[in-house]
Structure 1
Amino acid sequence: MSRMRSGFVGAVSLVALAAVLSRLLGYVREMLLAAKFGATGVTDAYLVAQEIPGAIYFVVSSSLVLAFIPVYREVVERRGEEAAWRLVNTVLNVATLAFAALWLVGELAAPALIPLLAPGFSAESERLAVSLTRVMLPILLLVSLSGLSAGVLNAHRRFAAPAFFGLASNLVVVVTLLWVQEAGQISWVAYSLVGGWALGALIQLVDLLRTGYRYRPVMDLAEPALGRVWRMLLPVLVATSVTQVQTFAARVVASHLAEGTISFLNYAVRISQLPFNVIGLALTTVIYPTLAEQSASGGQDELKETLRDGLRRLAFLLVPMAVGTALFAVPIVRVVFERGAFTPDDTRMTAAALQFYAVGILFTGWVDMLNRTFYAVQDSLTPMWTALVMIAFNIMLNVALVGPLGHAGLALSASLAPFLGSLVLLARLRMRLGRLGGREIAGSLLTYLATSGAGALLGWLVWQGGVRFLGNGTLAQLILLILALGAIVVVHVAAALLLRTPDGAELNRIAGRLLRRTRDT
């Protein structure tokens, strides 16, 4: 995949568009949550309660996608579609029964879990968190359906329905937040979260039926491919849970700090995740089936080239976003959140965390790309052990940095963990596959740091001059923020074109194709 094919670019664009729309609606959700409830014990309780079923949902469903695609494609190619659909139904039925049992256990164990996750909570916040957790636990019944349907759809290169899952789920929560008026109605927000995720799962199921799938109440425990799915899945679960474990660990420490600290971290991480979740994840999602096919066909050189291109493209796309996020953290938080109960002090505290979260934006993307490469070669153990190293490193840094840096130290430790993880994964992959082109990757990273830095200088000048001319009103800051961030991107892209980097050359080719199509029409 040395050159972007039009189909590849279109698929990435579709997933990215869905992510943009979903994230925009997600930020509307966060803005409404902040405006209606502020950064208080109520939001702290809601966010902690949401993490228990939410973390299980996202970790397991995304792990099913990663673990199921290689096995499913192998069954299709070797034994046909009928055997593959039987495997899908078997995994779906077994997993649904398991999560139904987990739901019941969670309902009983919630009063014991909340003190472990937030030991610094007041008695009132703890009771609220337990109640909200019980409301949201039925989400677990959707895990297997959502994960399996997304995996099969991606294997068939149908990316739209899984990509629009977040848009559907966020829409339900936003409508509910527009309706609620007081803190006591936070439980309605929790109910709407369950309904929103059920709607997203239903959309995926409808698209899955178009591929030829039909549900059957079968559980063929003797199916040989079932064992391979579970052997892949368990290590993938560990590797995929890094972010959630880091969030839990940070919230345990943050619960001992000032009230609202958990909310500051939550709002900051929501913004910092936008570049990867919109652009980076779209790229790695579309590349993953190609990696799996190249591994299955024995094309090791092609696989390494795809990986190298993927890492370089992630740097090209994410570095300027990380630089802009760190440089303009305060105005970004102010424009997105500062209204209603969200005060200027809340902005300052959230922005302090956001600046440090921005450090890890690229490395989060690199870890995801490298993990998917290992999964493509059916090695799920290396990402698992690397994830455990990252988690231990993160917890140690939480303890070491929270003293001198406060809650911002928790954000910095969350960024340094994927940096370490990417180094470990690169070293292990080089041992397995041979030379990966590390100098080319490092050279591209340094180049894009320089081009983004030049863009940041222009962006800062635009910001400073604009503030003097337009003032500090909300609309003026929004306009200036768009102009300043746009200046970073323009300088970065222009420099890539002038320097004739591989990504600059690719942009030239894409622009040329678009111009030819325009002339032809």
Structure 2
Amino acid sequence: MTEVKKPKRTLASIATIVAVATLISKVFGLVRQQAIAAAFGVGPAFDAYTYAYVIPGFLLILLGGINGPFHSAIVSVLAKRKPEEAAPLVETITTFVGGILLLVTIGLIIFANPLIDVVAPGLTTTPEGEVIRAIAIQQFRIMAPMALLAGLIGIGFGTLSSADQYWLPSISPLFSSVTVIVGIGILVLQFGRDIIQPQYALMGGLVLAWGTLAGAILQWLVQVVAQWKSGLGTLRLRFDFNQPAVKEVMNIMGPATFSSGMMQINVYTDLFFASFIPQTASALGYAGLLVQTPLGILSNMLLVPLLPVFSRLATPNHWPELKGRIRQGIILTALTMLPLGALIIALAVPIVRVVYERGAFDPEASQFVAPMLMAYGVGMFVYLGRDVLVRVFYALGDGQTPFRISVANIILNAVLDFLLINTFGAPGLVLATVGVNFVSMIALLMILHRRMNGLPLREWTGPIVSLTAASFVAGVVSWGLLQVCEYFWGTEGFFIQLSELTLSGIIGLGVFALIAAQLKLPEVDVFVGRVRQKFGR
């Protein structure tokens, strides 16, 4: 017997909770990356960590992330059931998933050497690469238990979200950042600036690995305590794998995991090519975090509150309202991601310099990372737009369609990597991912259009085109103002760079806001009304 539960909070209140918690978590993540950049730059310790983190880290993102397949599957099923059904179901899923991932963890430890060679074959071609490979293997073995922790964390995210608890899941990733920062701090206190020397690369690499693992353990432990207190399950082992609710979770979780896993294969493909270009892996990591910080905040604001709504509107008699929610998700994505991407493209160099340029991270490193950040900015809208549509399929109980599209995109990504890296160099790897996400988003829209008896695609296209044009104008204004500032104030000095970046960014956003306000979109009106309400109090 199932029961459709009404939301206890409005979408706005959920989005606010998630935004604040995620912002705090992302700020700590950014500080962690700044500490890594200052301590290691684009040297062997962080280069090795980037390769070693590929599999355990991607499992943490894939299985343990908010909006990941485990989170989505648990929320989609528990949102339709009575509260008393939650604990037995969660314990059964935890038993099943934990057993599988424990075997995966053991396999990762045993096969660390060949797995690193698969991830980064280019490391064996140079003496410097061999040093990086040796460090990466040790880091990989240390972080292997994150495979098990990833699944447990993902289940915890979904369980707490289904019980209307959003604060803890959104803020708990900061533990990983804190443990890494503490480890680097201890290392710096002991060795000072000498840690940038090659002989300390192994020690620095081990600190990064142990700090990351410790953070994942803490992240899981705080969730376990919250679940116990809320009566949402303990560590009790349950083997009732045949109950209908378990099968329903697995029907969503299995294909969704493979679908998201296909995306990680695309990332691996990028790193495969990156391993042949020195320092590219580190640069991808630094640039990626600068994009993932705002993208993660806005993604959680949009997807976390919308997913239960999509699930409650999944039956055909609710499809008219579901279509309205899909439009809301896509237009809000365009409203936030398009101007943000335009400003990132226009202001990439000062952004990298202000955030990272200190210690071992010098101006040359900034010039190497900035073009990759620009490439990431190009694809922010399609990245998040694709995620919105994937969650609609999960709500409809269909994990197979996103999976099939992701499988097809593996080939497309490899082809684009090969073509674009020859044309654009290292940034071509990012542009290839942008192309894959664009194709995925269009394919998902077309399938939904047929399945739901037509979507008002022409009606949706107009606002997106208008917001794109407004974002382009905002980016041009920001870039032009930056050139003027640099002409009169120069480009050296942290506070000068920060002032130029802040002024150019604020003016650019102001221009976008003025244009967007004239479009008379409901989403813009709602956003502006809430801002006025907050400041009018």
Normalising by structure 2, report the TM-score.
0.91
The change in CA–CA distance for 1:274 and 1:434 in structure 2 (over 3 A counts) is: farther
CA distance in 1, matches of 2:425, 2:534: 50
Partner of 2:146: 139
Match of residue 293, structure 1, among 312, 320, 328: 312
User: Do structure 1's residue 467 and structure 2's residue 486 form an aligned pair?
Assistant: yes
Matches within 5 A, 1:60-71: 60-61=63-64, 62-71=68-77
Matches within 5 A, 1:47-126: 47-61=50-64, 62-74=68-80, 76=81, 80-121=82-123, 122-126=129-133
For residues 243-297 of structure 1, give each alpha carbon's deviation from its aligned partner in whole angstroms, at most 9, with x where no partner exists: 422221111111112x211111221122222332111332111111001011158
Larger displacement relative to structure 2 (500-509 or 108-117): 500-509
Partner of 1:7: 10
Matches within 5 A, 1:375-414: 375-414=394-433
CA distance in 2, matches of 1:267, 1:466: 26
Question: Which amino acid is 2:85 matched to?
Answer: A
- Deviation of 1:172 after TM superposition, in Å, equals 1.5
Match of residue 177, structure 2, among 146, 163, 170: 170
CA distance in 2, matches of 1:515, 1:474: 31
Partner of 1:327: 346
Question: Which amino acid is 2:239 matched to?
Answer: M
Partner of 2:496: 476
Partner of 1:338: 357
The runs of 5 or more residues in structure 2 that have no matched partner are 1-7, 124-128, 189-194, 196-200
- Deviation of 1:6 after TM superposition, in Å, equals 8.2
User: Do structure 1's residue 234 and structure 2's residue 237 form an aligned pair?
Assistant: no
Partner of 1:19: 22
Partner of 2:5: none
User: Do structure 1's residue 318 and structure 2's residue 337 form an aligned pair?
Assistant: yes
CA distance in 2, matches of 1:153, 1:287: 16
CA distance in 2, matches of 1:6, 1:491: 33
Question: Which amino acid is 1:67 matched to?
Answer: A
User: Do structure 1's residue 204 and structure 2's residue 223 form an aligned pair?
Assistant: yes
Match of residue 33, structure 2, among 25, 30, 33: 30
- Deviation of 1:178 after TM superposition, in Å, equals 1.8
The answer to whether the Cα contact below 8 Å between 1:352 and 1:408 also exists between their aligned partners in 2 is yes
Larger displacement relative to structure 2 (504-513 or 241-250): 504-513
The answer to whether the Cα contact below 8 Å between 2:30 and 2:293 also exists between their aligned partners in 1 is no
Partner of 1:128: 135
The answer to whether the Cα contact below 8 Å between 1:149 and 1:205 also exists between their aligned partners in 2 is yes
CA distance in 1, matches of 2:305, 2:97: 26
CA distance in 2, matches of 1:412, 1:512: 38
CA distance in 2, matches of 1:282, 1:392: 32
The change in CA–CA distance for 1:297 and 1:433 in structure 2 (over 3 A counts) is: closer
Larger displacement relative to structure 2 (212-221 or 32-41): 212-221
Match of residue 202, structure 2, among 173, 178, 184: 184
Report SS of the residue matched to 1:436.
coil
Matches within 5 A, 1:274-285: 274-285=293-304
Question: Identity over the aligned pairs, expressed in percent?
Answer: 27
Partner of 1:244: 264
Larger displacement relative to structure 2 (299-308 or 217-226): 217-226
Question: Which amino acid is 1:179 matched to?
Answer: I
CA distance in 1, matches of 2:246, 2:368: 48
Question: Which amino acid is 1:423 matched to?
Answer: I
Larger displacement relative to structure 2 (218-227 or 362-371): 218-227
CA distance in 1, matches of 2:346, 2:263: 24
Question: Which amino acid is 1:247 matched to?
Answer: V
Partner of 1:154: 161
Question: Which amino acid is 2:115 matched to?
Answer: L
Partner of 2:276: 256
CA distance in 2, matches of 1:25, 1:343: 22
The answer to whether the Cα contact below 8 Å between 1:16 and 1:282 also exists between their aligned partners in 2 is yes
The answer to whether the Cα contact below 8 Å between 1:164 and 1:200 also exists between their aligned partners in 2 is no
Normalising by structure 1, report the TM-score.
0.93
Root-mean-square deviation (CA, aligned residues, Å) is 2.0
CA distance in 1, matches of 2:292, 2:436: 15
The answer to whether the Cα contact below 8 Å between 2:86 and 2:232 also exists between their aligned partners in 1 is no
- Deviation of 1:331 after TM superposition, in Å, equals 1.1
For residues 450-495 of structure 1, give each alpha carbon's deviation from its aligned partner in whole angstroms, at most 9, with x where no partner exists: 2222222332333223223433211111122122111121111222
The answer to whether the Cα contact below 8 Å between 1:88 and 1:148 also exists between their aligned partners in 2 is yes
Report SS of the residue matched to 1:152.
helix
CA distance in 2, matches of 1:14, 1:84: 23
The change in CA–CA distance for 1:233 and 1:204 in structure 2 (over 3 A counts) is: same
CA distance in 2, matches of 1:441, 1:178: 50
The runs of 5 or more residues in structure 1 that have no matched partner are none
- Deviation of 1:512 after TM superposition, in Å, equals 5.8
Partner of 2:508: 488
Report SS of the residue matched to 2:13.
helix
The change in CA–CA distance for 1:331 and 1:242 in structure 2 (over 3 A counts) is: farther
The change in CA–CA distance for 1:485 and 1:243 in structure 2 (over 3 A counts) is: farther
CA distance in 2, matches of 1:305, 1:58: 29
The change in CA–CA distance for 1:205 and 1:273 in structure 2 (over 3 A counts) is: same
The change in CA–CA distance for 1:508 and 1:127 in structure 2 (over 3 A counts) is: closer
